[in-house]
Amino acid sequence: MDLLPLARAHYYHPSQQGSWSIKKVLPVICSDLNYSELEGVQDGNMAMVSFQEAIHPDCTPERKDEIYQELDKYCQLNTLAMVRI
């Protein structure tokens, strides 16, 4: 379920700076969760670029493992953020 219409209709904080992205809403509602504390992948664009690197034939197994761990931590935080919001 997309929570955006519900949030737009019933909640806004000036710290969001006009944005409804999870990175702007999360610090307002859940100050204990922060994407900047992640190592490596910290946003959706970084996730896409990292995944492309991981699936490239020249990516070493060690680097691939590192990327998958970073993606896993990013996805865990993203899921927890949506649950908490």
For residue 53, the model assigns a pLDDT of 98
For residue 1, the model assigns a pLDDT of 74
For residue 23, the model assigns a pLDDT of 83
For residue 11, the model assigns a pLDDT of 83
For residue 25, the model assigns a pLDDT of 85
pTM of the entire predicted model = 0.82
**Separation between Cα atoms, residue 27 and residue 31, nearest integer Å:** 4
User: Can you list the pairs that 66-74 forms with residues at least 24 positions away whose Cβ atoms lie under 8 Å?
Assistant: 66/40, 67/40, 67/41, 70/38, 70/39, 70/40, 70/41, 71/41, 71/47, 73/38, 73/39, 73/40, 73/41, 74/35, 74/38, 74/40, 74/41, 74/42, 74/46, 74/47
Residues of the chain with pLDDT under 70: none
